[in-house]
Amino acid sequence: MRKYAAVLLILLLAGWGYGQESGEEEIPVTAGETLRVNLDTGGSLAITGTGESRAVVRYTVSGPDAGDVKVSVLRRKGEVEINSVFREDRRHRRVRLELEIRIPRRFELKLHSMGGGITLKGIEGEIRGTTMGGSLKLSDLKGRLELKTMGGEITLRDSAVDGRVLTMGGRVLLENVSGDLDAKSMGGQVVYRNVRRDTETQNGEAIRITSMGGPIHLNQAPHGARVKTMGGDISIRRAEQFLQATTMGGDISVDAVDGWIEAVTMGGDIEVTMTGDPYRGKRDVQLVSKGGDITLTLPAELSMKLELELAYTRGQEDRYQIRSDFPLELEKSDQWDRSQGSPRRYIYGKGKNGDGKHRVVIKTINGTITLIKTR
């Protein structure tokens, strides 16, 4: 039986490798023109910018149905157009297209593929494109991006770009990137490493991250950040000016925020450390968890008004408490509150440090609140 399966596998592999067509074309071009690529057959696409005044197109079509694919390279005024189509309307085809293109570094791109990964490197200009499924590997880009994949990872490195990148399902990694870029994943984590914005918007927002499901990791936010995920942890190493963080289920960890912060989780712990000059800028705090511990570390000199609320349900009376290095007045409710669903009682903490300039609000359910004073 094993021998029969091995022979069958060899025959299948041999059948897949049967048939191959390839071609290469070279076209004189000038910087600033447009490249259009339409892959109705799908396939892998790699485009590299060079210092040459020519476009070089190389393609390979392999598989039993390689002869059913037609690749055309058209030259028009101001643009090069590349198309791949099937010669006949056949539903199932065993074919693989690999397309490699070299163009001048400064070029506009308009891309569409029915499926397959896209790799772009060393290009300056407006880049727009969609693939119906496959990864986007992007590096050394400059200009504006409008790129989307219906399913696959996105990596963007060593680039200065504005615009948007979107995946309907997969991880997004931005590393060593500057510009006003919106990165989103509908079902995967979004990771920012050394991402900065060169020009601020009117409200000072520098980084925006949205994920429909998955963790968010951000190293630096020099001008603040707004991050949101429908489910996953959020971890921030350092944010300047402000931070807004929201997760529908997961922990929130902020190593350093030099400014004001709002953090909300529907179920998870929150841990935040405020750094910087406590006399400078807005430093209000709002931390809310629907079920988890909250730990907040603050400068000893911060002028603030403290408003703390800890709710606990039946059977949890002795498990949770409010701990504080700052003076607090604690008050416990006597009656069970049934207006919020399951009956609960409350522990309230109120206090004032200095003249109470900033408002610090912390609320949690079935979790301990801890305030730590830095010296």
Find the radius of gyration of the CA atoms of the chain: 28
Specify the pLDDT at position 14.
Answer: 41
Which amino acid would we find at residue 264? V
Mean pLDDT of 37-50: 95
| pLDDT > 50? residue 51 | yes
Share of the chain above pLDDT 90, in %: 66
Classified as helix, coil or strand, 89 is: coil
For residue 182, what are its two tokens?
């919106």
pTM score > 0.85 for this model?
no
- At residue 7, the pLDDT reads 38
Question: Average pLDDT, stretch 203-207?
Answer: 55
Considering only residues 76 and 209, tell me which one the structure prediction assigns the higher pLDDT: 76
pLDDT tens figures, 73-118 = 999 999 999 999 987 765 567 789 999 999 999 999 999 999 999 9
Instruction: Examine the pLDDT at 33 and tell me if it is beyond 60.
Output: yes
Q: Are the CB atoms for 183 and 172 separated by under 8 Å?
A: yes
User: Is residue 200 scored above 60 in pLDDT?
Assistant: no
Mean of pLDDT over the chain: 88
pLDDT greater at residue 206 or residue 293: 293
- The dihedral sign for the CA sequence 90, 91, 92, 94: positive
> What is the reported pLDDT for 92?
62
How would you class 6 by CB atoms within 10 Å of its CB: exposed for 0-12, middle for 13-18, buried for 19 or more?
exposed
* Pair 97, 82: CB distance under 8 Å: no
> Nearest-5° angle of CA 34, CA 40, CA 46?
50
Q: Please state, in angstroms and rounded to a whole number, the distance separating the CA atoms of residues 139 and 118.
A: 11
Q: What is the pLDDT of residues 53-76, one digit of tens each?
A: 999 999 999 988 888 889 999 999
What would the pLDDT profile of 2-13 be if each residue is shown by its tens digit?
A: 444 443 333 344
Q: Cite the DSSP H helix spans in the chain.
A: 2-17
Average pLDDT over every residue of 152-156: 95
**What is the end-to-end Cα distance of the chain in Å, rounded?**
74
- What letter does residue 10 receive in the DSSP assignment? H
Domain ranges within the chain, ordered by starting residue: 18-153, 282-375
